[in-house]
Amino acid sequence: MKQTFERVADLSDLPEGGLLGVEVDGRPLVLANVAGIVHALDGICTHMDAGLAEGSLFEECLMCPVHGGEFDVRTGEAITSPAVEPLGTHEVRVEAGGIFVAKPG
């Protein structure tokens, strides 16, 4: 089946080093801009449901705002306790000044 993409934000809304919360099909995601590369991950921490768009980004490392668990935005891997379970990652395209994320299914 052909993958469909949804425009979720303008690229100008997400400066380098920034995080942005968006929704795709009602699911919260977080976008992270690492040196011009945009990554999209599940927006809710796998530890205890914190919104990761309120976290902080240092290079490829996304830190949860509640307990400081950290995730690699390239893979979703949990790299620092108390985060253990990985985040889902989502395919991203940047075209014509827009950020597009693959829709689930």
Minimum separation from the CB atom of position 80 to ligand FES (A): 9
Q: Do β-strands 98-102 and 5-10 pair in parallel, antiparallel, or remain unpaired?
A: antiparallel
Cα distance between the two ends of the chain: 9
- Give the whole-angstrom CA distance, residue 35 versus residue 72: 14
Q: Which is nearer to ligand FES, 30 or 83 (CB)?
A: 83
CA 14 distance to own-chain centroid: 11
- Give the whole-angstrom CA distance, residue 99 versus residue 29: 13
Identify residues 63-82 at the interface with ligand FES (CB under 6 A): 64, 66-67, 69, 82
Mark residues 1-40: x for contact with ligand FES by CB under 6 A, - for none: ----------------------------------------
**Given the rule CB under 6 A, which residues bind ligand FES?**
45, 47-48, 50, 64, 66-67, 69, 82-83
